[in-house]
């Protein structure tokens, strides 16, 4: 009887630990997938002519709301298409990053 109790208790403990390990493993896997997705997005090329990725644009987007200003700071917009392909993308990025600029305006 005592053996069974200990065995049940032991199994219960193992189950709990296994569940914790599984939960942590799932969380880690989910976190890694999110990180991988974010890295893939950062590598996405915005200016095709000059091969400039999103990661180069992000630091500039919070400081300005002008497409030409972004092109000057990043070095985009003066490739073979003269900005015809990347300017609309930059404008979209500026619209998406507008909340970042309004937050920084309030804090300063």
Q: Which of 60, 74, 86, 93 binds ligand FES (CB under 6 A)?
A: 86
Contact mark string toward ligand FES, 1..40, x via CB under 6 A: ----------------------------------------
* Shortest Å distance, C-beta 17 to ligand FES: 54
How far apart CA 22 and CA 20 sit, in angstroms, is 5
Contact 61, 70 (CB under 8 A): yes
Secondary structure class of 45 (helix, strand, coil): strand
Question: What residues between 44 and 83 interact with ligand FES by CB under 6 A?
Answer: 47-50, 76-77, 79-81, 83
Residue 52: beta bridge partners? Answer: 47
């Amino acid at each position: 009887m005592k053996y069974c109790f200990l065995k049940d208790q032991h199994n219960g403990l193992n189950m709990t630990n296994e569940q914790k390990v599984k939960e942590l493993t799932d969380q880690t896997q989910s976190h890694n997938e999110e990180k991988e997705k974010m890295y893939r997005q950062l590598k996405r090329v915005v200016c095709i002519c000059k091969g400039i990725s999103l990661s180069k644009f992000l630091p500039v987007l919070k400081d300005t709301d002008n497409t030409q200003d972004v092109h000057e700071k990043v070095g985009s917009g003066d490739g073979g298409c003269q900005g015809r392909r990347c300017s609309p993308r930059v404008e979209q990025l500026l619209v998406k990053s507008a909340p970042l600029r309004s937050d920084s305006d309030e804090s300063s």
